[in-house]
Chain A
Amino acid sequence: MNKFAFHTMVLAFCCGVAAPVFAQDAQKKEEICFESRKGASEITKREIKPGLPNVKCSPKTGAALWYGDPFDGTVPMGKMPLLEKIPEGHAVIKPRSEKLAILPMCGTACHNGVGPAFNPPTLPKGKKPTPIPTMAGLLPGIENLQHGRGGIWCLDCHHTTKRDKLVDHFGDPVSFDQPQLLCGKCHGDKLRDWRDGIHGKRIGEFTSTGKKRWFVCTECHNPHDVQDGARNRGFIQLQPESPPQLPRGLKDAKHEKLHPIPH
């Protein structure tokens, strides 16, 4: 290799390293924090009024810690049976589909109804998801689906022909923005509690007809991984915020572990 080429390489290498650093700088200015669970929904910090942000992020865990504007980036929820009593526009959600980057391609690029000619369509007999290399590439670990304890598979939730949609009780397509219409198929008790505000999360105005942002099922639960793993209670484990200040004169909190219950 001649000297010139080597220098060019070094230069290119440096630029290659430098570019992401600059990019990081740009990103740093834009503070983004995750809401319920990591990877589901995010919110970008901005000012509503001088000195009043729309959100505050945790410097330790990156979680949203405080909402100045609870309706940031929301759209009307859409029709929901038995929620008709809520005035128009008072139930809003953050669209899930915007977060699902490949969704617009699902129904056109691969599952466009042309594909391998299934005529008549033959579907797998078993409930175990068949390993499909492309899907496994897009969704690592999907062949080991942690939902339904082996009793369900992809097309119990995803629409057979319209792959950018979910599917409800009657085989009709459901938008990814309204997963509750699908999840309620099996988890009816949870759907009822969610509708009444007992299960799940809502932010905004607390009066029963007030304007609220509703968190939909998949903002808190990962539908492909909800079963007990290294966690309990159906919610993915996350990093906690820092503990309270130690009482004056104490170096650590060992005394707390000396409680008298023999285990």
Chain B
Amino acid sequence: MLSMSSLMGTAALMVQSGDAKAAVEWAEHFQKNYRLMTAEEKAEARARLERRYSAEYGKQVSVDTTEAQPGVLMGYALNIRKCIGCRRCVKACVEENNQSRGNKPGERIEWIQVLRMERGEFSKDKMNHGYPEGLGIQVGGNAYTPAGAVLEGQYHYEPEAVPEKDATYMPIACMHCEKPPCVKVCPVRTTYRDPDGVVVIDYNWCIGCRMCMGACPYWARRINVANPVLPKEAMNPVTHYLGNRPRMRGVVEKCHWCLQRSRHSRYPACVEVCPVGARKFGNLLDPESEVSLILARKNVFRLKAELNTFPKFFYFYD
């Protein structure tokens, strides 16, 4: 078996040969799975990445490696009645998390999708139009015009102004499941659930097989089919190893609840820009946190709860 020291030796040799870039690539190629790395190896990887990104983007880039904090289990709640479908959360996520933003097909990546659905009808004059005729309104709405219970709708809506009449908006991103199907299927175990509830990806170990994309019931994962397009001036230099550091072609990415922020107690980017305050984030282990209070007090549901994925993302309404 190749020992780390022999690898380091080879890397050092290559540095001496003056090819620093090759040395970095060599070291990266033989890097262990992030979860199995020792603290020193993590520090090394971090320093290497910081150097590389700083040179590439022409500014001081930091790559954080903060671990999950004890006593924290992150949770998210979204008020489905308040969302007006403005998509500011989508764009905030892109600004924060260094997604690819080119114009060619496959070059533009957004992690949040906002689904526009028709409102179901519970109008007075149709109250008796259920099936069978005359027996009144049926479960799930009128039998002829069901309430927006199916996840059918539009992602590409573009009206002058939102919210539109008779429309309901449902933002969807990674649900940070307690039993994540994506983690089960990953053949190289590069995606896993950290103790604070966040499902993360070590991009260096991702082989781009897209098993997780097929397994995710919430369409949360995106693959970099093309070389990511990330303009220097738009790049966010505050990054986390498991979070928003720039990705390479051929790896899968998704929402990670803005680890680079949330591991330092800061709200995720999408929470901060939502103009109606529909997005709520907090520590589920703290009974005083806003998410705990929502769970205690409001009507809450999880998307596709019947799949037993146990999401940590809750939808609620007043």
A residues at B contact (CB < 8 Å): 35-37, 49-52, 56, 58, 63-67, 70, 193, 196-208, 210, 215, 220, 231-233, 235, 237-249, 252-253, 256-257, 259-263
> Contact: B267 with A63, CB < 8 Å?
no
15 residue pairs A–B, Cβ–Cβ below 8 Å? A36-B276, A51-B60, A52-B238, A63-B273, A66-B91, A197-B282, A198-B294, A207-B286, A220-B277, A241-B87, A243-B87, A243-B156, A245-B107, A259-B152, A261-B118
> Contact: A220 with B91, CB < 8 Å?
no
Q: How many A-B residue pairs have CB under 8 A?
A: 184
Taking A36-B275, A198-B294 as contacts, is the C-beta distance between A240 and B162 under 8 angstroms?
A: yes
Taking A66-B96, A196-B293, A210-B265 as contacts, is the C-beta distance between A237 and B162 under 8 angstroms?
A: yes
Taking A64-B273, A66-B92, A244-B155 as contacts, is the C-beta distance between A238 and B86 under 8 angstroms?
A: yes
Interface size class of B (residues with CB under 8 A): 35 or more
Q: Closest chain A residue to B167 by CB distance?
A: A232
Q: Closest chain B residue to A235 by CB distance?
A: B276
Q: Closest chain B residue to A215 by CB distance?
A: B277
Residue B250, interface by CB 8 Å = no
Question: With contacts A52-B236, A231-B161 known, what are 7 further pairs, Cβ within 8 A?
Answer: A70-B267, A207-B265, A235-B163, A238-B275, A243-B157, A243-B158, A244-B90
Residue B297, interface by CB 8 Å = yes
Q: Which residues of B contact A256 (CB under 8 A)?
A: 153-157
In the assembly, what is the distance between CA of A220 and CA of B276, in Å? 7
CB distance from B272 to the nearest CB of A (A): 4
Which residue of B113, B269, B293 is within 8 Å of A197 (Cβ)?
B293
In the assembly, what is the distance between CA of A58 and CA of B95, in Å? 10
> Contact: A260 with B152, CB < 8 Å?
yes
In the assembly, what is the distance between CA of A192 and CA of B159, in Å? 34
Q: Which residues of A contact B153 (CB under 8 A)?
A: 256, 259
In the assembly, what is the distance between CA of A108 and CA of B146, in Å? 59
Chain B 41-64 interface mask (CB, 8 Å, partner A; 1/0): 000000000000000011110000
> Contact: A233 with B298, CB < 8 Å?
no
Q: Which residues of B contact A202 (CB under 8 A)?
A: 267, 277
